[in-house]
Amino acid sequence: MLNKSIPKYLKHEAEIALSFYPELKEVPIEFKLTRKMSSSVMKAQPKLGSLFKKRNKRNYVILISRHFDIQNRKFHTRSIPQNVLIGWLGHELGHVMDYQNRSGLNLIRFGLCYLFSESFVIKAEQTADHYAIRHHMKDYILETKNYILSHTGLSDRYKEKIKRLYTSPEQVLEFVNEKMN
């Protein structure tokens, strides 16, 4: 993992998630802890300096909040169960897989559409989940979805946002069944 930078307390989970993506073995990825992000717990993106490099020369960063606030309650990423964290990281690695298939200009368009179009966000999040599922992470993805949707400390407003923008557990299973047939 010479080309991966992983914080010590996430190393085990990140290595498990990465093991499902052998195509990313040579891709430089930095898993970076941040103090706080506005509306997410994790976010994958190409590093700005590598945006216009050839696809096989790009570097990526997965930003991970040390903690996140939902309706004035603080949750620490460190307290997320291991399999949920693996699923969350697997989802973000799904975004990296998607980005690998895009040109620099297409990534800029992607970023703008993601900022301004809810329907685009839904499609992008489903695509990341589909990559994770195709890479045999279905159980981790389902555990992550179920954790978020059933966590009693998370607000109904946050859960509704997750239901609106992200693949539901039922949709995950539908995708798996379609893929198997």
Residue percentage of the chain with pLDDT more than 70: 92
Closest listed residue to residue 82, CA positions, set 144, 2, 6: 144
Pairwise pLDDT comparison (35 vs 171), residue with the higher score = 171
Q: Kindly provide the b/e burial profile for residues 112-148, where b requires at least 16 CB atoms within 10 angstroms of the residue's own CB.
A: eeeeeeeeebeebbbbbbbbbbebebbebbbbbbebb
Residue 2 pLDDT exceeds 80: no
3-state helix, strand, coil in the chain (%, to 5): 60, 15, 25
Summarised one tens digit per residue, pLDDT across range 59-116 is: 999 999 887 766 566 778 888 899 999 999 999 999 999 999 999 999 999 999 999 9
Residue 52's pLDDT band, with cuts at 50, 70 and 90, is confident
Query: Which whole number is the average pLDDT over 151-168?
Result: 82
Query: Which whole number is the average pLDDT over 32-59?
Result: 86
Q: Which amino acid is at 104?
A: G
**Which H/E stretch holds residue 61?**
strand 60-65
pLDDT of the residue at 71: 59
> Taking a C-beta distance cutoff of 8 angstroms, is the pair 138, 50 a contact?
no
**Distance separating alpha carbons of residues 23 and 6, to the nearest angstrom:** 18
> Taking a C-beta distance cutoff of 8 angstroms, is the pair 1, 21 a contact?
no
pLDDT of the residue at 152: 63
